[in-house]
Structure 1
Amino acid sequence: MPEEPFDDRTMPLPADPWRTQHGPAPTVHLGGPTAYLGDPDRTTHLAGPGATSPAPHPDGSEPTIRTQAELRFGPGVPVTPVAAPAWPETAPARRRPWGRRLVSLVSGLLTLALVVVVGFYVWQRLSPIAVESVTVAVPKPAGTRCDVTVDVVATVRTNGKAGVIRYQWFRSDAAPGGILTERVGRGQRTATLTLRWTFAGVGTATETATVNIIEPSPVQAGTKVAYRCRRG
């Protein structure tokens, strides 16, 4: 039986299956940049499409396969920072033409004037009557006439609003008179209240007549009334 030829070439050591688990991970090259997996002494290149696998190295190390891109994995590998998004550019404010700005200004002024007019009209319509002043006088005094009736006139000035004036007369020779009313129309700024006072007999007397405004606000005003009758 012939003897088999003896091959005295040194066989490479078998790969340790636990080396990648207990030791640093190898580096994988995916074509281009290198992807490190923990062990800088061990590199594996994976070829891209159409690439051929190179022959193993004479020293028994693993072949290198390259691809189109390089990926890096493992601790200590710098990470490429993500680019921050660009801030959106603010569009410049558009300025309205002078014509439109002028029209807007005039429109605003007209609206304001209309609001003022309407407000004044409503205030005129809704505001109540008010007494501004009261004066009392005797237009035709009795003089030296006997048995005479004189008119005592109270002039009431108002704010021109419509309403009712409630009043009464006080005479110095009698009890207070009853409460009377005088209606005033819109725009009427003067109201006349008259007291007819009759004197009789011979002699001289000086009396006082006072008008007492009750509504819209309490106001009083008076005057002297003289009587002189000489017979004989």
Structure 2
Amino acid sequence: MNTDRGGLAGFRLTHRTWTDELGTWSSAVAADGRPGSALSFDPRLVADPATRERLVAAVVSDRRLVQGGVTGLVPVADLVAAQGEVWLLTTEPVSPAVTDLLPQTAGVPRPDAGSAATILVEVAQTLLAVHAAGLAHGALHPGTVVIAPDGSALLAERGLADAIYGRLPAPERDVAAWASLARGLAASWAAASPGAAGLFDRAASTASTHGLAAARDVLLSGGDLLPPGFTTRDRLVETIHRWSSDDLRTGGGQPAPALSAPSAPSAPSAPDEGDIVTLLHPPKNGESHTDDVVMRFGPGVPVETTAVRLWRTGRDSQKTESPAGGLRALGAPARRRRRRTALSSVILALMVVAALLAWLLRSSPAPLEVTAMKVVAPKKAQGCDKAVKVRGVLTTNGSAGEIHYQWKRSDREETIEQTDTVTAGKTSHEVILLWSAKGEGSFRATATLRVLSPLPAGKKLQDRASFTFTC
């Protein structure tokens, strides 16, 4: 069965649909014939305009990552709105995901331990690139890890859940989710290989204590415990090919009871093309488009000063008509010339005063702004018998004022908010977090510093650093 449900911004929605936490996914075909996918968000989740703005920001950041060379993300084609609905369009299919391949399907070879290792290494590599950009996935689980036709692992829905629920990026949540994924694959695809299952469990523990880079290296160094040639993805490619054939043959690969259940939501149909508006290209801040004219407002637009207005008024007032006769012009009364001279002198004096006032106003101190920041943690492992000092170095514009900031420790849910007063003339200010630990063992500690105010308009300042406690 291949039901065409209409067109959407150049995509044709086809037969297969499935639901997740964010809404209803549909398989789709792009205008050039390539397969893709479309997500119709649950209208209740995107009704708030602020939520839509966060979604736009997340998708824009996602596309910048892809443009910057991050290859492990499902590329987003567009984010559109129509008739109260919001749709996300991707240029790669978001199925099958790992969750589709976990159940044993007749006629479809089950992925092996080598397939699991390949997926875990590639997901870790993608997450490291995302975290290096100051972002996070936010909802990593088997349903958002997509297997492409060539067997590579792609991440779907990056940043969408955080945007919808108004959460700050939390890389530590991604790390915990990756460790859970590793243990889940150890119990399923590596169940027949005790050595590989143990390798996955060690990688999961390493991720929790030393981070994803160390966990990835554990997998790469344990190749002798995995099937030969696991990095070629041959087993995954065969599984995907057979799964796709079975999916087409059965009309979507979804169990029949789930599709026919009375409570299952109906597949959304594409809205009228005339009502579709992209959300990714709104007018820039401070711009209003009227026909072909762009009017700019706000900071950065030169303001006509009082001195300039006075100069223009004086210049225009001194325009004279051509004299009717040369003898009459030469014989003008002396008092007229004196009036003009006096008027010019007054205008010149006003110009000087206005210029002086403008200079005084412009030279007054600017409000305090924090323009950059960096968090520095110890490079060596730290013991538990002393307080570890984590430093935050804030760069300012040198003005006086108060800085309101927030520390977040990875071992606590609550944050620590503080306010410091800085004096004029200093362009650097240091804030300190003291962190101590008790108990036995070792764990990876991450300190996140966020500046709450004052910030440049539209800018967000946040940085983090990690170190290891060994008790």
Given the two structures, how large is their TM-score scaled by the length of structure 2? Answer: 0.25
Q: Which has the higher helix share?
A: 2
Q: Which has the higher contact order (CA 8 A, sep 6+)?
A: 1
Given the two structures, how large is their TM-score scaled by the length of structure 1? Answer: 0.47
Q: Which has the higher strand share?
A: 1
Larger of the two Rg values belongs to structure: 1
